[in-house]
Amino acid sequence: MKNFTSFADAGDYKALLQQALEIKANPFGYQEVGRNKTVGLIFFNPSLRTRLSSVKAAYNLGAQVWVLNAGTDSWTLETVDGAVMDGSTQEHIKEAIAVMSQYCDVLGVRTFPTLTDREADYGEVFFNKIISYATVPVISLESATLHPLQSFADLLTVAETKRTERVKVVLTWAPHVRALPQCVPNSFCDWFTDIDWVDLVITHPEGYELDPIFTRGARIEYDQHKALAGADFVQAKNWSSYHDYGQVLSTDPNWMLTPAHMAGTNDARFLHCLPVRRNVEVSDAVLDSPNSLIIQQAGNRTFAMQTVLHELLK
Ligand code: CP
């Protein structure tokens, strides 16, 4: 593993998943890997889980860790190549990333999409620029199009709680008051379409089709109740339109997940990456039900990150 930005970077996912299960069973058993190593974390956007689970993962491995909130903790960073920096920006990311690379052995970076420039977002122009300026391996803490650490934690959660060899997993769109990125659903599809014991079904209102590069022929069912029938796992998430880029095309409350929606499933376990807007995306009754795995899922963010750090630092 050179960098960790997508499912492809995971390589042999079965081996990586096995490693994550072993690390979870013995979280402090790999401290030699992190000894005298430093993990740097740069956030261009807010975070709760990614930030804290990454710090915890580094500590579990015996590594040092520093965190920078870019722009607020540091000089205001310029991202445009060739910019005449006579405005508000004070330092170019070209120097900033190269300098920060000298202060760590692996660099985690979070950069959200613009949701206005699809070409730049889906070309991962900003994230790729960071990789090109870095002199250490880079881990995506969520980029413009993908959130691989989240999906790895989702896979770990499904793998450790599934009750049958094969499972039906449904990714359902949920309503929201704001336009959100497609990173989490893109990444969920990027990972789950290639798991040989998963039958993935995606459901959303028309107009919310994701980039087929990530859905890769997975079944799309526009009738949410039909999609949920017989599901073993349900992952809910809002996203804005990919085709009508960044637009909110629907806020239909009928798509909010309730016990009535879950009734047609195979007593499905419920997943959400968090944060969640209660009683907008998902009802309290679903989030607080015994089948809800959301806290365990967030806990697994630590072991997903620890496994990736272990691969990059060992
Ligand atoms: N799920 C997730 O990435 O949470 P944060 O945005 O709080 O890090």
**241 inside domain:** yes
Residue 230 lies in a domain: yes
pLDDT digits (tens, 9 = 90+) for 263-293: 999 999 999 999 999 999 999 999 999 999 9
Share in percent of the chain as helix, strand, coil (round to 5) = 40, 15, 45
Residues 29 and 139 in one domain: yes
Verify that 294 and 308 share a domain, yes or no: no
126 is a domain residue: yes
138 and 163 in a single domain? The answer is no
Does 2 fall in a domain? no
Q: Cα(67)–Cα(44) distance, rounded to whole angstroms?
A: 11
- Evaluate whether residue 54 is within a structural domain: yes
**Which candidate, 3, 45, 243, places its Cα nearest to that of 142?**
45
- Asked if the structure places residue 1 within a domain, the reply is no
Q: Do 126 and 156 sit in the same domain of this protein?
A: no
Q: Is the domain of 127 the same as that of 255?
A: no
Domain match, 45 and 154 both: no
What is the residue type of 203?
A: T
Q: What is the pLDDT of residue 139?
A: 98
Say if residue 96 is in the same domain as residue 238. Answer: no
Q: Could you tell me if the CB of 150 is within 6 A of ligand 1?
A: yes
| Residue of the CA atom closest to atom 4 of ligand 1 | 49
How close is the Cα of 244 to the center of ligand 1, in Å? 25
Same structural domain, 294 and 152: yes
Atom of ligand 1 nearest to the CA of 110: 8
* pLDDT one-digit tens code per residue, 49-89: 999 999 999 999 999 999 999 988 999 999 999 999 999 99
The predicted pLDDT at position 56 comes to 98
* Statement: residue 303 has pLDDT above 90: yes
* Known binding-site positions: 47-50, 75, 110, 142, 147-150, 176, 237, 273-274, 277, 301
Count of structural domains within the chain: 2
Note whether residue 79 is domain-resident. Answer: yes
CA–centroid distance, residue 236 to ligand 1 (Å): 15
Residues 32, 99 within the same domain: yes
**Is 213 a pocket residue for ligand 1 (Cβ < 6 Å)?**
no
Ligand 1 in reach of 50 Cβ (< 6 A) = yes
209: phi then psi, degrees, rounded to nearest 5: -60, 135
Co-location of 196 and 228 in the same domain: yes
CATH number of residue 294's parent domain: 3.40.50.1370
- Averaged pLDDT of the chain: 97
CA distance 240 to 221: 18
Binding-site entries for carbamoyl phosphate = 47-50, 75, 110, 147-150, 273-274, 301
If asked whether residues 197 and 269 sit together in one domain, one would say yes
Ligand 1 pocket mutation pick from 44, 45, 49, 184 by most atoms within 8 angstroms of CB: 49
Tell whether 125 is covered by a domain. yes
241-269 pLDDT tens trace: 999 999 999 999 999 999 999 999 999 99
Predicted confidence (pLDDT) at residue 4 exceeds the cutoff of 90: yes
pLDDT score for 71: 80
Considering the domain architecture, whether residues 235 and 308 belong to the same structural domain is answered as no
Strands across the sheet with 233-237, in order? 219-220, 198-203, 167-173, 233-237, 269-271
Residue 286 CA to ligand 1 centre (angstroms): 20
160 alpha carbon – ligand 1 mean position (Å)? 21
Q: Quick one: pLDDT at residue 68?
A: 97
Model confidence pLDDT, tens digit, residues 140-191 = 999 999 999 999 999 999 999 999 999 999 999 999 999 999 999 999 999 9
Q: Is the CB of 274 under 6 A from ligand 1?
A: yes
Residues 196-217 have a mean pLDDT of 97
Domain that holds residue 74: 7-146+301-313
pLDDT at position 36: 98
pLDDT exceeds cutoff 90 at 206: yes
